[in-house]
Each structure stands twice: as structure tokens, then as C-alpha cells.
Structure 1
């Protein structure tokens, strides 16, 4: 049986991929500083390594955007950006309604993560200080958090993976009848949030040795945000999840700046 693509699949895909690619383009600005510390015997230049490091996330982004664009309409998930370019539905009025809740939720989860991180640091000592969320942040780090974290990661984790998990459960357990059951959606939200936390372990391992407490900290703190972003994606839109995620990173940078200014 031939696949029946949703209305405007091509323009939806290209638009969301283009938006997500902005986040990928922000990565070299933080990667270059890290790659300059590579051993001298490495023959590849930092610029070449930074460019090569963009290949994998670009491929994953294309896959995730395609999955979400195909399956999201089937399970009731929405993107205002995609709906505007494909159907002409005005995006700004909807974003205006959703923005306050999403921005406040993102800021609150950011504050909660910072507070909980301070408790984890008590048990981690110097290792915890090296991982502290409120370390001084450059403008490049903040922008990468907003663009890659807020936009690209939401396309990967919510639009792509969460949509796929819900669609599979809906098809197998509900035989594509009615809307996906809330329990099914919550299982997907929590599962993807945990996967989101697990995905941060390689970055953490490059900074400090992984211990049970560090693994727990990394998964738990990142999953906290993932649950909120997943709920907003389900109940509001992809853009609400993006706004909340970006707001969390802005909160991290603002708190780090304030602490640095008064220390």
C-alpha cells in the first residue's frame, strides 16, 4: 500500500528542517573553543572537526522532522509554523496566547533545576562544581542553548521521537481508534524525557568520570525539563515546547550572570 503523505508534507518538512538547522549552525561557536584544546598530534584542524561534527545532528534532524511531519497530524500533535506554511493558518495569534505559559513554565523549571543541582553538588564536591549549571556562560553558549536546545532538540525529541512513540502505541494498543489515551501519551513523555537525560551522559563523561550519583543527576535534571516540554507539546504545540526550552536556557544564563556579578 502506498504511503499517503499529509497535506503539504514537503513544505512543512523543509520549513521545520530549516528552522532546526539554525540550531545546528550555532554549534561550531561553542565547539571551536572546546576543540582548540585537542592534543597537538591530532592532524585535523578544529574548524574541520567542527564542520564534521555537524553531519550527524543534521542527519538526525532530517529523520526526526520527517517522522514528526508524517505522524504528528495522525495523533493530534501540532506545529503552528508548519500549519501556517502549509494551510495559511495564522501563527502569531496562537503563539501570543501560548507564550506566557510556556515562557513562565520554562523559567520555573530552570530555577527548580538550579536549586536541585545545588543539592547534588553537596554530594559531588569538586566534580559537582565542574558540572554546575550556573557556571559563567558566554553569549555563544547562551545562543546555542536557545537555538540548538530550544529549537533543534525539541524537533529531535518531541516532534520526532515522542510523536513516533505515541503513534506506535496508538496503532498497536488502540488500533488507531480515537485520540491517543492520556496514559499512552504520559508514558511517551516520561520515556522521551529519560532518553533526553541519557543523551547528555556522553557530554558529561567528557568533563568528569561517570559515577552513579553523576548519572542520576544528569538523567534526573534533564528529564525534569523533558517532562514539562513534552506536556506543552501535547497540550499546546511544538512551539510552546520550544519557547519553554529556550526560556530554561535563558534562565540559566541570567542566574549565572547575576551570581557572577554579585560574587
Structure 2
């Protein structure tokens, strides 16, 4: 079942590139994920906002999308858990009959120098940031192969490319996403499925707001564009890949020129 909002004018329908598509955004209740969800919904997609514990924030995103005339639902699932991740995919399929776009955005940080890092801090990051992508993608891949259509977009990071002090766990998880992206792209290209990564640099989010201002100034001084990125700029890259049919296995950098 494909749901199309009832209040769309013909002009608006024609301008919406993702009209009727079904998109899942993991970690879609806050920050980059919530902006991606809203951008895809504005473009006509039926959006499933996945969250783990932020129910109120997820509901707020749903409300915003509905106020814009879009269609969205929310679904609680800890995608680090394989059974819950599979539930997310199956619930989406049962409601909409298909899954066209999977944005693997769920991610956390547990920064610590390697000598002081606990095994819990290592495994938690790998489970949430990397294993979750295996869980969701393994649940959706056969559906996309049957459809002969799919867009899998993995949110990696500049830290997965360049490294980061005190971030061996986070860097390993995000670098792993890039390798995952390239290999799966090779396997699925013949099936009409594209697999790409977006690698944000330093983006102005709630998480980043907790960093002391003097540290932020040091970071910004190293960015060629001399400013932080916005969540909208990351969402634009995701939208571009969602609409692209001949780009696969790529990492799109949204970092103001900080890493090239």
C-alpha cells in the first residue's frame, strides 16, 4: 500500500521526486536523522522514523512532518538488537507493502583514549553504529532485490576517514560502514539497488552544542569554509543519493573541505 497525502496540489505532486516511496530512517528522532526524515517527507516519501528511547522527540518529528502535509509514522526499535531491527523492517512492510529507501543513521559516541577504553565502550559503539547496519540491511535486502529497486544510504563520518583523538571505537565503526558500503554496492548493483555513504564533518547538532566554545573555535579554525555544517546540508546529500540511479559505492563528503 502506497500512501499519498490527500492535500497535495498537482503542481506539488509533480515537484516531489520521492512521491509514494517508503523510507526508513534509523535514529530519526533527533539531529541529522530528524532533518533527513523531514526532507524526504517534504519530497513525498512515506517516512518511518525509528527511535530507541526518545519517544517524545520522535513524535515531535512526526507532528512537524504532518503539519507540512507529509506522511510519517514512528517505530520504536533498538537496531543494535537484530530481532528489533527486523521488527522495524517487517512493520514497515506490513504497513506500506515495500521499502524503497533505508537510511542507516543511528549512532552514538563513547569517546575515550584507547588505553582507558573499556570493552563495554568498545562493543556498545560497534553494536549501535556498525552491527545495526547489518541488522537492518539484512532484513530489507531481499525485499529490495524483489522490487528491483532500493536506495541504501549509510551515515558514516569524517572520523571514519581521518580518525579522531580518543575515538578509536567510533572511527572503527564509521570506517567499517565505508567498507560495508563499497562491498554491498558491488553485490547489488545488478538488482537496481544503490548503496552509498554520506560522511559528515562537524555538524551543528544538539550533541555538538555540548562541546566547550573554545574547543569549537579550534575545530572551526581547521575547516576551510570556517564554519560548522548544518543538518540541512547533510540531508541534501541524502536526498541527492535517494534520487540518483547511477551512483553507487561512493562516499559523499559533507565537511566544508576539512577532509578531501
TM-score, normalization by structure 1: 0.29
Bigger share in strand:
2
More helix per residue: 1
Q: RCO higher in 1 or 2 (8 Å CA, sep ≥ 6)?
A: 1
Structure of larger gyration radius: 1
